[in-house]
Amino acid sequence: MRTNIVITGASSGLGAQMAREFAARGRNLALCARRVDRLVALRDELTERYPDITVLARGLDVTDHDDVFAAFDEFAGDLGSLDRVIVNAGIGQGQPIGTGRFDANLATIRTNFVGALAQCEAAMRVFRAQDNGHLVLVSSMAAFRGLPGSATTYCATKAALATLAEGIRLDVLRRPIIVTTLYPGFISSEMNPDPSISRLIVDTAKGVRAMVKAMEQEVADACVPPWPWRPLAFVLRHAPRRIVARFT
């Protein structure tokens, strides 16, 4: 029996590359995002390359909470079950607090956390009914420390996402439901499009391979890629504020 995987935010970047990686492994996919034209192009690419798998594509704005539940229920019905749901959709449009851009920070919270909560609720409802499943939340290295400027609200949403994942994990500790939290470092994507911004950035394919490997191992949490981000997580947590304040 093939594994059925839902990926949100699958129209580009990390989500699209995850779809390519899992398709190569023979997984059935249910892909959703706001940009339907890109989803359809990705679906066509994958079904042409891997004709033995099923690839579903559906438009979804994760801030439309009712539609999140409807989408996940449709996917479960069409595929027969959901084995893994990857909560990946997110934006990075925050602005410094108190500079008149509450709208941008609110949009970031609504997408990155409230939208993620809706996805978790919808996925876990299916998993509880099945009594199995694998929930994956894509957090960020930004979850380990508040950062200044435009990153402040983004960091807060990713920290909240990690805490949400831990609570769900504890809630189903004695059930055959796995919860994984991923903490990606700098991986080239639409959020981090320019490799020159950091010597630590890796290309999309390499970064996503590390993410997929962690998911396939069903670990509780993982900094990805492990090097250098696992040791840097400790550094980020404990670095003096005067050092952290230089990040913008």
DSSP conformational letter for 219: -
Q: How far apart are CA 138 and CA 180, in angstroms?
A: 9
Q: How far apart are CA 151 and CA 199, in angstroms?
A: 19
Residue 70 burial by CB count (10 A; 0-12/13-18/19+): exposed, middle or buried?
middle
The identity of residue 93, as a single letter, is: Q
What residues have CB less than 8 Å from 111, skipping those under 6 apart?
62, 63, 89, 90, 91
List residues with catalytic annotation: 154
CB-CB neighbours of 217 under 10 Å: 9
Task: Return the structure tokens found at 87.
Answer: 């909560």
Q: How far apart are CA 68 and CA 65, in angstroms?
A: 5
Q: Are 133 and 126 in contact (CB under 8 A)?
A: yes
Handedness of CA 139, 144, 145, 147 (dihedral sign): negative
